[in-house]
Structure 1
Amino acid sequence: MPEDCLPFVRGILRVALYAGITAFLFLLMYIDAVTTGTFGETSLVEIAQSVILFVITAIFVSCALRVSALTRSAWLLATFAAASLIRENDIWLDMLHEEGWQILATPVIAAGLFYTWRHRAAFLAEQRVFTESMSFGLFVSALMTTYVFSRLFGMGRFWRSVMQDDYLRPIKDMSEECLELFGYGLMLCAAIEFIALARRLAAEARAA
């Protein structure tokens, strides 16, 4: 295969991989819809959210420990994903303590911010590359989908205006949870792109 074609082929493979991830996430939504019709804490959608966040955290931790490039960014993103995982399981943690998830998430976030501040010069240097990458674009898209749009889209007032007298809370919850899952899927794609970028930068540094 001509070397000029390799970037195009890699791009096609990325599209296929990310399309596969998206289709799989929809399959989980579909299974929940046709079996139980609910999207509660024990649904496949909710379980998948936690699993994906765990995988994302593991990817960033592995990158921070094993790849020399973008280490500071990887640690910050790992703590963010870990805190999101804790928040996603708030209903279970609150059974142990009224503010269970806050108690666990706060030191995780504080540790990430402290580490970033301590290594702020190296962190800012990494952003010259990271903020121009596909990983950053996907990560921002994930944040907008999960933490902004899904919250706005899931507003009860919005759904009452749309459905009026036919308002059903499960429909609102379903839309919000499915959007969150899609956002976490985008974040997983961003994590995959991140580790690919970090490996490429590390290889270029070794070759220089």
Structure 2
Amino acid sequence: MQLPPPNWPIDFRITLLRATLYVLFIGGIAQGAYLEAVYLPSVRFTELGFTEFSQTLTLASCCGLLIYIRQVLKVWPNVTLLMLAFVAASLIREQDYFFDEFVADNSWKVLVALIILPSIGWVVYQRRRFIAEFAHYSNTFSFGLFAGGVLTTYIFSRLYGRQIFWRAVLEDNYVRIFKDVAEEVIELLGYSLILFAIIELLLLALRIRKAHSV
């Protein structure tokens, strides 16, 4: 059953509270990256450092919330399936070092394919329902945040973290750590925006269920 979003506005005070919490979260990850640089010199900005761990935790949280929205609240199941496949693939991609080290080279790619291909296939099969759901979702604050997170993580961080760029900036003082820090911290920012988007989707899904249970 297609569930359109409720029409009543969100209270300004609640919006302000959520915005404040998001600002504090962003400030927290920025401070965490600073403390990682100061107090964790042996693992800073590696797979065992604060930034990489935070990326994993953020993506895992996104997966859990999306599963709840889709399986429990049952709101926009095709849209949330595609989002879940995307986020889960990103989570696996972030563990590529461990898969390559302890399983087999490029084994993470197999897992990503096993998630992405069936999900896309199902969405294509259910394309009419997906389009109807997306027509609602694309007009939400959550979608804007999600799109911003994807662009930040997968476009801007890659371009900003290019070695050629940092060699041009630092010239003879170039050290790879500058490139790694720039790319990883911006990736974490992008993942945080995706988390905020899914939190907003969760709150919207709760409102939708409430509206249709009255």
TM bucket normalised to smaller: over 0.9
Q: What is the aligned counterpart of 1:65 among 71, 74, 93?
A: 71
Structure 2 residue matching 1:98: 3-state secondary structure: coil
Partners of 1:118 and 1:93 in 2: CA distance: 32
The whole-number CA distance in structure 2 between the counterparts of 1:200 and 1:122 is: 21
Output aligned runs, 1:7-156, within 5 Å.
7-37=11-41, 38-95=44-101, 96-156=103-163
Alpha-carbon distance in 2 for matches of 1:178, 1:40: 11
Q: Any gaps of 5 or more consecutive residues in structure 2?
A: 1-7
CA contact (8 A) 1:53 1:81 kept: yes
Q: Is the 8 A contact 1:83 1:109 kept in 2?
A: yes
The TM-score, its normalising length taken from structure 1, stands at 0.93
1:162 is aligned to 169
Q: Distance in 1 between matches of 2:114 and 2:48?
A: 27
In 2, Cα distance between equivalents of 1:91 and 1:171: 20
Please give the alpha-carbon distance, in whole angstroms, between the structure 2 residues aligned to 1:111 and 1:6.
36
Q: Which runs of 5+ in 1 are unaligned?
A: none
- Which structure has the highest helix share of the two? 1
Number of paired residues?
A: 204
1:179 and 2:154 correspond: no
8 Å Cα contact 1:64/1:71 also seen in 2: yes
SS at match of 1:132: coil
Residues in 2 aligned to 1:22 and 1:157: alpha-carbon distance in whole angstroms: 28
Deviates more, 1:118-127 or 1:185-194: 118-127
Task: Report the more deviating stretch, 146-155 or 67-76.
Answer: 67-76
* CA 1:6–1:78: 2 relative to 1, 3 Å: closer
Amino acid at match of 2:84: A
Cα shift at 1:202? 2.3
Contact 1:90 1:101 in 2 (8 A): yes
- Give identity over the alignment, percent: 33
CA distance in 2, matches of 1:187, 1:156: 26
Distance across 2 between alignment mates of 1:86 and 1:128? 29
Q: Note the C-alpha offset of 1:6.
A: 6.3
Q: Distance in 1 between matches of 2:152 and 2:161?
A: 12
- RMSD of aligned alpha carbons: 1.6
